[in-house]
Structure 1
């Protein structure tokens, strides 16, 4: 299950930050809840610590370059981009988002 509130909350956080979020049912478990622990239409409190994350900004910049520009990129940075893409693809694969994972692996 992907919770919209958690995804939105994570986007507002920095590495190493600890935050609390109060999510209305629309952004959490909705009308079904998650029995037996979370009843239907429950407002939930999450405490999240963002220990680390994959920053794909450098990968995105690299992929936007022409082939000639990519060839001029330092090997160390190319290896970092490749590792980030692989890790991101693995994350998507674990989420059963196979098509999205395939795109990341091919980049």
Structure 2
């Protein structure tokens, strides 16, 4: 196999353009098809629940694990603070900064 073709700038640019068009197409399909496709109420509830479960699992794995090890105490506490602030409907910047400050202060205190 000729590996020089895989590293050519043209292949890279074409790949980026194809991915950009595909991404835009998927994002455009939602609003365009929303009125044409209907789901039963039970399926809509299941999809809403699936989205929440997916986000919760993402938060759990990134908030509690570091590689294949447990993340320690500081990061989960920071994630918990972020969750509390988000639940209290704090602005997004406050949520992110609050989690970062709590995590940094705990690590500064020697709690990792």
Task: Sort the TM-score into its range (normalised by shorter chain).
Answer: under 0.3
- Bigger Rg over Cα: 2
The two structures have a TM-score, normalised by structure 1, of: 0.27
- Between Structure 1 and Structure 2, the one with more strand by share is 1
**Higher helix proportion:** 2
